Amino acid sequence: MRMSFEERIGGHLKRVEQELVVAKAAAVKPAGVTVAQYAALFVLEEQPGISGAELARRCLVTPQTMTTILRNLEAGDLIERTPHPFHRHVIETRLTPAGQQALDAADKRATKVERALAAEFDADERATLLALLGRCSAVLAAAREGFDAEE
């Protein structure tokens, strides 16, 4: 027998994730970036010089998607990409001053979304929610590995 939508935790998680993306998209739009671009800028601020492949992993997108994101950020003069001094095939990526400005503007507004969400829960509820989401991630990672092993 099929599970109903109401029984499917994944459907609820997906809906909340989509609502978060829509809220963040509205928040970061005035800064001239998309949610994916904002995420990339956020990681680049924390890890200047990171490779595109690692940036894709950190932002949970494919390398191909990250290539498109980086091209658009570079076209907007929000990042600069230079060859690694020792590893010829690695391109380092860093924020430009305009990129830092865009990140600052976007983050100020995106943080309001995160704070509004967090404010709906007391400290114990937030801790419980994070623990439950961590368990969901662990179960899904194990399931993915199980499916990969079947191939």
Token pair of 48, please?
């200047």
Given the candidates 2.60.120.10, 3.40.190.100, 3.40.50.10790, 1.10.10.10, the CATH classification of the domain at 5-146 is: 1.10.10.10
Residue position matching structure tokens 């368990």: 135
Give per-residue pLDDT as tens, 141-150: 998 887 776 6
Give per-residue pLDDT as tens, 88-114: 788 889 999 999 999 999 999 999 999
Average pLDDT over residues 61-88: 93
Average pLDDT over residues 112-137: 97
Sequence spans of domains, the chain: 5-146
Give per-residue pLDDT as tens, 43-62: 999 999 998 899 999 999 99
Q: For all residues of the chain together, what is the average pLDDT?
A: 94
Q: How far is CA 1 from CA 4, 10, 29, 46, 139, in A?
A: 9, 17, 43, 47, 22
Helix (H, G, I), strand (E, B) or coil at 79: strand
pLDDT given at position 151: 61
pLDDT given at position 89: 81
pLDDT given at position 85: 82
pLDDT given at position 150: 66
pLDDT band of residue 34 (cuts 50, 70, 90) is: very high
What single string gives the DSSP state of each residue in 90-140?
Answer: -EEEEE-HHHHHHHHHHHHHHHHHHHHHHHTS-HHHHHHHHHHHHHHHHHH
